[in-house]
Structure 1
Amino acid sequence: MSIQVQSERVNPLTPEQVKQYQIDGYIIIKKGCSIDLIDAFNSHIHSIRSSDSMPEWAKPKKGGAVVDDKDRFSLRLFNPHLHDGFSLQMMKLPVVRGALAQVLGDEAAGVQSMYFYKEPGSPGQAAHQDYYYIKNDPNTLTAAWVAMEYTNEENGCLYVIPGSQKLGVLPHGDVKNLQEHEAWTHEVEDIDLSKEIPVILDKGDILIFDSNLIHSSTRNRSNRWRRSYVCHYIRHDSTIEREDLKKKIPLV
């Protein structure tokens, strides 16, 4: 008995959506991931972080050092796709594979994954460009941000400046508002942040965006979590500079 693998690529974006992505630097795939799958993945990640025998790769860390148990459900889970089959398959969602191929013009490969908790009260990240942190050549870096629950201004949604990817790579400096943003990140300089708009996502929506798109998030001012699964991809023929992200994951 042979097992058939679905490898035919889907094309979830219309030509108009691809054109809009090129203009704005981002696109939202509504209901790109089923609620059942989201609930199963959230429960799976919770079981990993709540286990008394949590594997080393899953332990909450800051600067590479393991921290207290109180951070089990606050610090992000970094690169779970390298260790966990469910996380790997979430990186390979067919709808994401198809959308990336449409906007990049060829097949993409996964290079990084992060499961964010963003508990109530936690700060956001200052306005930045992903390319600043993940340099690649040629630059095809693209993010897929899967909303693990309803995300709006109250629980710290993303804000973007539409079209800002056309500005190229901008200088980044120290974070200015430490009441709103994490201190360990950096902030893009010499840009009018009043042009940022909130990206409201329903549970299961997928946000695809360019690595040069200026984006940020705010403090979670609600009593709700803002969990998300964020993966970064490059076109299969691009190369990553960072040693820890050089492994490419085919999406087929």
Structure 2
Amino acid sequence: MTARALNRYAPAGHRLDDLRSRFDQDGFVILESALTREEVDGLLAETVRICRGELGDIQGSVPAGPRDGDDDVMRRFLCIHYPHKLSALMLDTMRHPAIVEPLTEIIGPNLKSMQSMLFIKSEGRPGQAWHQDEMFIPTRDRSLTAAWIALDDATVENGCLWVLPGSHRRGVLYPNRDHDDPRYDCTVESYGFPYSDADAVPVEMAAGSVLLFNGYLLHKSLPNTGRHGYRRALANHYMSAESLLPWTRPEEGRNMAQADFRDIVLVAGRDPYEYKGVEEVRSPRIRPDREGGCDR
């Protein structure tokens, strides 16, 4: 798909009145050039520091030695979960006004985030099969929304995201299963949905642009087939602060309707559940990517 064809998914000048209607219709919008070149370069430099272990431990990673080059170190990683717990810059980006302001228009004035993921997909590394984020991160009001920040130009060749426009509208979570497709990492794949690959749209974006998409939207990515280089991206997940987050089992004596994961970051407005406090539950870790097999 050409940049001109994709422009219908990018509200002109990021007008907020147009953004909500397009998001409701398609399940995603593109915020073109939301981050400056300087901001992107800062995040790329921070990515190297994170991969080298300079900002803290990452569960499942191999420590970098003083003789290891930056490229050699980065190529060990496919995805790092919770980089905002390692990096003040990544945390600041989670709160970036150019991202949060449109999100408050889409979700509401009170906004919290519960997850960040730093993707470092070098040449030959796999993508992720069709899936819906809400299957992994359940919200009680269907408000889950991802902000996928391109740190490199994302192209079909290097493994950009593909989406099925409108697939969020039914509000249905489709079944999932394990797979053995070498194109994808160890994450399960969704199936049984009334769409085909012919309906899919590749989301090619320039570095610094941001893709906002609904938690029910079916999306995937393919391997980086480029001969050299990365497809790096920072993805943050957000939701309404009014909604409980039943991401883990409730404590004994409480029913599932009261389950509320509190390892969160408030990024806009007020948290009506602030009396519960905030907990440190999750730690930075790497995602299995088929090298050495999948832990199932």
TM-score by length of 1: 0.85
1:60-139 aligned at under 5 Å gives the runs 61=60, 66-67=61-62, 72-73=74-75, 74-139=77-142
**SS of 2:128's equivalent?**
coil
In the alignment, the residues of structure 2 paired with residue 22 and residue 189 of structure 1 have an alpha-carbon distance, to the nearest angstrom, of 23
**SS of 1:226's equivalent?**
strand
Q: Tell me the equivalent position of 1:231.
A: 236
In structure 2, relative to structure 1, the CA distance for the partners of 1:42 and 1:236 (3 Å cut) is: same
- How many residue pairs match? The answer is 235
Shift of 1:67: 4.9
Choose which of 164, 169, 178 in structure 1 pairs with 2:181.
178
Q: Tell me the equivalent position of 1:142.
A: 145
In the alignment, the residues of structure 2 paired with residue 93 and residue 54 of structure 1 have an alpha-carbon distance, to the nearest angstrom, of 21
1:153-164 aligned at under 5 Å gives the runs 153-164=156-167
One-letter amino acid matched to 1:89: D
- Identity over the aligned pairs, expressed in percent? 26
1:7-22 aligned at under 5 Å gives the runs 12-22=14-24
In the alignment, the residues of structure 1 paired with residue 167 and residue 187 of structure 2 have an alpha-carbon distance, to the nearest angstrom, of 23
Shift of 1:78: 1.1
Shift of 1:102: 0.4
In the alignment, the residues of structure 2 paired with residue 203 and residue 87 of structure 1 have an alpha-carbon distance, to the nearest angstrom, of 16
**SS of 1:167's equivalent?**
coil
Deviates more, 1:166-175 or 1:104-113: 166-175
Aligned-CA RMSD value: 2.2
One-letter amino acid matched to 1:190: F
Q: Tell me the equivalent position of 1:217.
A: 221
Q: CA contact under 8 A between 1:158 and 1:198: conserved in structure 2?
A: yes
In structure 2, relative to structure 1, the CA distance for the partners of 1:169 and 1:67 (3 Å cut) is: farther
Per-residue CA shift, 1:142-192, capped at 9, x if unaligned?
000000010010000000011110122232322556122123333233332
Deviates more, 1:168-177 or 1:207-216: 168-177
1:37-48 aligned at under 5 Å gives the runs 37-48=39-50
In structure 2, relative to structure 1, the CA distance for the partners of 1:221 and 1:112 (3 Å cut) is: same
TM-score by length of 2: 0.73
Gaps of 5+ in 2: 1-12, 65-71, 249-259, 269-296
Choose which of 228, 241, 244 in structure 1 pairs with 2:246.
241
Deviates more, 1:239-248 or 1:92-101: 239-248
Q: CA contact under 8 A between 1:112 and 1:245: conserved in structure 2?
A: no
Gaps of 5+ in 1: 1-10
In the alignment, the residues of structure 2 paired with residue 104 and residue 173 of structure 1 have an alpha-carbon distance, to the nearest angstrom, of 27
- Name which one, 1 or 2, has greater alpha-carbon Rg: 2
Q: CA contact under 8 A between 1:172 and 1:189: conserved in structure 2?
A: yes
